Chain A
Amino acid sequence: MNPFSSGTRLRDMIRAIRACKTAAEERAVVRKECAAIRAAISENDQDYRHRNLAKLMFIHMLGYPTHFGQMECLKLIASAGFPEKRIGYLGLMLLLDERQEVLMLVTNSLKQDLNHSNQYIVGLALCALGNICSAEMARDLAPEVERLLHGRDPNIKKKAALCSIRIIRKVPDLAENFMGPAASLLKEKHHGVLIAGVQLCTDLCKANTDALEYLRKNCTEGLVRILKDVSNSPYAPEYDIAGITDPFLHIRVLRLMRMLGQEDADSSEYMNDILAQVATKTESNKNVGNAILYECVETIMGIEATSGLRVLAINILGRFLSNRDNNIRYVALNMLMKAITVDAQAVQRHRTTILECVKDSDASIRKRALELVFLLVNDGNVKPLAKELIDYLEVSDQEFKGDLTAKICSIVEKFSQEKLWYIDQMFKVLSLAGNYVKDDVWHALIVVISNAPDLQGYSVRSLYRALQTSYEQESLVRVAVWCIGEYGEMLVNNVGVLEVEEPMTVTESDAVDAVELALKRHSSDMTTRAMSLIALLKLSSRFTPTSERIKEIVTQHKGSVALELQQRSIEFNSIIQRHQNIKWVTDLLVVNNIARHPLKILVVESMHLLLGCWCMCRSSLVERMPVLDEAAYLGKRAGSSQPTLSAEKSSKPTTSAASLKLPNGVAKPPAAPLVDLLDLSSDDAPVLPSAPNDFLNDLLGIGLPNSSSSGAAPSTTTDLLMDLLSIGTSPAQNGPSDSNVVPSSAKAAESKPAPVTAPVMDLLDGLPSNASPPRDENLVYPTITAFESSTLKIAFSFEKQPEKPQVTLISATFTNLSSSTLTNFIFQAAVPKFVQLHLDPASSSTLPANGNGTITQSLRVTNTQHGQKPLAMRVRMAYKFNDEDKLEQGQISNFPPGL
């Protein structure tokens, strides 16, 4: 016999593990024990199997791997004796979960044990089945369980009832089989069986509408009687908890009543009396009583109760809310949130108390209260509520500030009636908790300011003032810097002073100081610094006396380690140097602070190219950045979280034709927006404005009318451009009109591809990467139908950058072939290990019927074994179809070769 196999006793092992002083010691002990157990397993040791399994369970609880013991569980379960089975089933439930294949092997033993003559063995099997069964097992063993429901022993019956719950949860189709037995369980006297039966009925109601109807018809009466009996019953020591007989049964019956009474007047009517009795008679000085009251209130809110009963329920909640016990207050807040749909007025009455709860020391209560306050806000009370919340923001805990800020911002945005109030509140939030403000919130603020000409002066002055005290709030600094750059002269000249304002004098150099400070602070991040640089550039044209100083500041960043800053600094420097009075382009550049990050590089690149062409043409320039389109911005925010990118992708098909016109354009292929822009300027933007979601394009679209209506002398500008591009064509040939400028350069580029790139590079002072010649002809892949079912069609189109052969951009287009709309649409994809997949958010989650509209979603796939292994993908679509959850999945293997 193996010397290890007898091993130590369980108790000794636990003691040894507990005696360990360090984690390393513990690991050593566990390793030794595991080795012994493995040895015993391989020797097929019978005598100590159950002890070894018990040890393994303890080791498992400590978090060590114990998979090697799984088969031992099965062996123990298969043995004849009760002690072995008992420990075997325990091990099965602890060491395995329903996703392990080993579990399938136990189905047969379970079946045998369910038919065993010993009730305790049947109990063990039911218990294991109820806790870990998988869908397959549920299907296989459902008849056995159903049979046991009709048995005589209460212990088996209650276990079988609960086991059925698990079976229905795994396989809702089986619900029908359990309807009859479940209803008959409600006639039992034994509380355990009754509780289990009521729970089974509740789950049946949730799983199946037929079952709900059936139980509503057959059980409502019996249920009311059960509740009446149990709540009127005299003292029963076996079930008594704090003077109440079986509160668990109370609560479960109330819950089932809620299911049955929901949206059904008749059965609700039947329940009113008993609910009123429970609500008035239950003692509320103990937790048990409150638990029943809580459930009772929820039931009253859930069913079609009389208005008197509802008032009673709301009053109970009011009492809960003023309770000193935190638990009771928490559930009151929780419940009021549901009550708000029933009776908003009654909940409003408790507003002050709820507001106090927002300031509670308990994080759980605070969170609940904040969510409730958020629901309570309406047009009438938004001002005092927002003020309260903002005041509290100052003193709240750090970890709560994030939630609080987000909620305040959305309240202020949603309910603001006047812009001044909105701007004021946002400034307050920014200066108190600017670090917690999300990007889209301050972007929206900028859009609003830019749309309110009469408040711009006020805004920039308030921000300047706020900046003096709260430099550490990142988003405040960003907004302030943007506004100072944009409306700097309003700050200095006190334009548009409102009555409420205190007068202040700010000199031009003060304004530059403020921006410089933002640029040089250590805590400022890249975006802030980049924005500061742009602001300085704008100020240099607005405050001519300070332009030398600004040039100095900008020059200091020429050697910055951050590429973005360095690039900006060098370019701006050259702009200041060459064209001191050019302002318009700088405004255009600001756009890329608002555009989302992924596009940034693209935008910057295309801007710089444009800059070369356009800034030359505009000697008398528009003073300020064009007004941002508020409606489009808000629509875009509502539409999706990262819309610029997806909109850009979705507009690709429409613009691709345009890009083909320039086979040898100045840009590399991914810079499609640039091509679009160049093209756009020639024929007055027929393509891009049609994509209303595209914020960037909108901005540029807005910029265009300005450019064509500006009064610059056309012939000189053309001249300038041609001069700069050092192309030999004479200006007269190119025609006098503005709109011809860019196409002429494009034509020139077409005719003389080689020489053009050099001047452009020269012009841009170091952007050589732009000039790589495109090779896109051989990278065209056919669009494939990746997936098609009766309801859904998915088409994939592909794109690839020539310098990165392993990366493929896939844009997926989903079309609904059925006749009803699909909602909650979620697309998921899985790829083999050698492929990396990045999914962008989908353009929408709703798919209109009959192919009237599509969802697009882009995927970036990196095949690390490009050329050796073909791409493969599995997809899974979850959606709601006719109010039902549907799931479809499939494998895509018809990818075009070479991906």
Chain B
Amino acid sequence: MWKISSSSSRSQFRIRRSPPTATWSLRCVEDIVFEKNCEQERRRKSVGRFGFYFPTMINFVLLISRQGKVRLTKWYSTYSQKERTKVIRELSGVILSRGPKLCNFVEWRGYKVVYRRYASLYFCMCIDPDDNELEILEIIHHFVEILDRYFGSVCELDLIFNFHKAYYILDEILLAGELQESSKKTVARLIAAQDSLVETAKEQASSISNIIAQATK
């Protein structure tokens, strides 16, 4: 599908060697919602038929605070920067305004967003409509438990100051929008091994620079 936003379309065109002088603006039949609906429609028809290829996967992971601040985003499907901002804005509006006793699923643009609130943080995952929503809740919990073990009773501040670590952990749990590891222990072990690699490298670097510093004194 051709995306609407001009920035992405431009780069797409450049790769295909369009006339360099003209910048092309695109106009599809309707707006992006229509496009999504079409896709959705085709998706529905494709259930149980081969030849169509629609994966069931996690399209993106989003962590937002109660104030609507983004704490972590991970995109497994392709979204342009503009679309990403739009998605985040739309979804935080929908999810943050939902009452506490309601179900944890929101239907949004033909996809489903499964969210779960932990203290002041909302963990959201956007999935395809045929995916198992209850399982995604478990994956979210799985992620939170691993974070909890790593940081030792994790809180929002941990994720703000060590956001890169949160990403490393997520990368050990999910890959290509699919679950990678169901054992918390294995994830913890892998992360610890990589952290120690970083530590040794740092120590080496500092010892080398010490040596150099001393030698040049």
Contacts and interface: CB of A to CB of B under 8 A. Distances in A.
Nearest to A196: B180
For the complex, would chain A's binding face be called helix, strand, loop or mixed by DSSP majority? helix
Interface in A82-101: 82-83, 86-87, 90, 93-94, 97-101
A826 interface: yes
Interface string B122-166: 000000000011110111001000000000000000001101100
Interface in B18-36: 22-29
B9 to A, nearest CB: 8
A162 interface: yes
Given A172-B53, A329-B103, A155 B190 contact: yes
Contacts of B72: 61
Contact of A63 (B26, B51, B70, B190): B70
B211 interface: no
Nearest to A91: B164
A839 B164 contact: no
A832 B182 contact: no
A120 B181 contact: no
Contacts of A247: 135, 138
Interface in A191-214: 191-192, 195-196, 199, 203, 206-207, 209, 212
A874 interface: yes
A287 B133 contact: no
A238 interface: yes
Q: Which of A63, A97, A191, A298 is packed against the most chain B CB atoms within 10 Å?
A: A97
Interface in B77-104: 78-81, 85, 99, 101-104
Contact of A330 (B71, B75, B103, B163): B103
Interface string B173-217: 001101111111110001001100110011000000000000000
Interface string A151-192: 000010011001101100100100000000000000000011
B203 to A, nearest CB: 11
A355 interface: no
Contacts of A295: 132, 135
B194 A86 contact: yes
A597 B25 CA distance: 28
A249 interface: yes
A469 interface: no
Nearest to A882: B51
Contacts of A123: 190
Nearest to B79: A97
A255 B178 CA distance: 13
Contacts, number: 222
B11 to A, nearest CB: 6
A785 interface: no
A341 B12 CA distance: 42
A530 B165 CA distance: 65
B25 A127 contact: no
Given A14-B161, A196-B180, A828-B2, A290 B134 contact: yes
Nearest to A63: B85
A474 interface: no
Contact of B50 (A82, A98, A209): A209
A206 B176 contact: no
B189 to A, nearest CB: 9
B207 to A, nearest CB: 14
Nearest to B9: A830
Given A97-B80, A199-B179, A826-B38, A326 B103 contact: yes
A244 to B, nearest CB: 10
Given A326-B101, A330-B133, A90 B179 contact: no
Contacts of A172: 53
A81 B29 CA distance: 50
A335 to B, nearest CB: 10
B54 interface: yes
B8 interface: yes
A262 B48 contact: yes
A120 B103 contact: no
B15 A101 contact: yes
B73 interface: yes
B163 A57 contact: yes
B104 to A, nearest CB: 6
Classify the interface of chain B: helix, strand, loop or mixed: mixed
A288 interface: yes
A123 B186 CA distance: 14
A103 to B, nearest CB: 11
Interface string A347-366: 00000000000000111110
Interface in A272-326: 287-288, 290-291, 294-295, 298, 302, 326
Contact of B103 (A61, A99, A327): A327
A839 B27 contact: yes
A241 B138 contact: yes
A61 B78 contact: no
Contact of A830 (B24, B70, B132, B198): B24
Contacts of B107: 364, 367-368
A794 B132 CA distance: 43
Contact of A195 (B11, B54, B179): B179
A408 to B, nearest CB: 20
Given A239-B183, A249-B182, A98 B78 contact: yes
Contacts of B52: 885
A682 B2 CA distance: 50
A98 B75 CA distance: 11
Given A158-B181, A192-B183, A251-B132, A291 B137 contact: yes
B182 A191 contact: yes
B24 A874 contact: yes
B121 interface: no
Of B134, B160, B161, B176, most buried by chain A (CB within 10 Å of CB) is B176
B84 to A, nearest CB: 9
Interface in B40-78: 42, 47-56, 70-76, 78
Contacts of B48: 262-263, 302
Contacts of A340: none
24 contacts: A61-B70, A62-B70, A86-B194, A93-B74, A97-B78, A97-B81, A98-B78, A99-B11, A99-B80, A101-B11, A120-B194, A126-B175, A131-B176, A162-B175, A166-B176, A169-B176, A206-B53, A239-B183, A328-B134, A362-B103, A829-B27, A832-B23, A837-B27, A839-B27
Interface of A: 11, 14, 18, 54, 57-58, 61-63, 65, 81-83, 86-87, 90, 93-94, 97-101, 120, 123, 126-127, 130-131, 155, 158-159, 162-163, 165-166, 169, 172, 191-192, 195-196, 199, 203, 206-207, 209, 212, 238-239, 241, 246-249, 251-252, 255, 262-263, 287-288, 290-291, 294-295, 298, 302, 326-331, 334, 338, 361-365, 367-368, 824, 826-833, 836-839, 841, 872, 874, 876, 883-885
Q: Which 8 A-B pairs have the closest CB atoms?
A: A291-B134, A326-B103, A130-B176, A162-B175, A166-B176, A248-B182, A362-B102, A832-B22
